Amino acid sequence: MNTILKLFVSGILMAALSGCGSSQKLQVSGQTTGQELVDLKKAYDAGVITEKEYNNQREAILDRN
């Protein structure tokens, strides 16, 4: 699965978990925070995700660390 698709799927799962009251945190395995942020920006720049999704995911990544 390519990185942009992983981020998209991860975002959907994070949104679903946050809505169910779960305290679990998802992390894309094997990636550094910096790489996750770079990949997220690429997804936003490519139009795969909206600005709101970008900002929410960026905050989620930063909050994990």
Q: Tens digit of pLDDT for each residue in 30-43?
A: 789 999 999 999 99
Cα dihedral across residues 40, 61, 37, 51: positive or negative: positive
* 3 contacts: CB under 8 Å, gap ≥ 6: 39, 42
Write out residues in the chain with pLDDT < 70, as ranges: 1-29
For the entire predicted model, the pTM comes to 0.55
Q: What pLDDT is attached to residue 30? A: 76
Residue 32 amino acid letter: T
Among the listed residues 5, 9, 18, the one whose alpha carbon sits nearest the alpha carbon of residue 46: 5
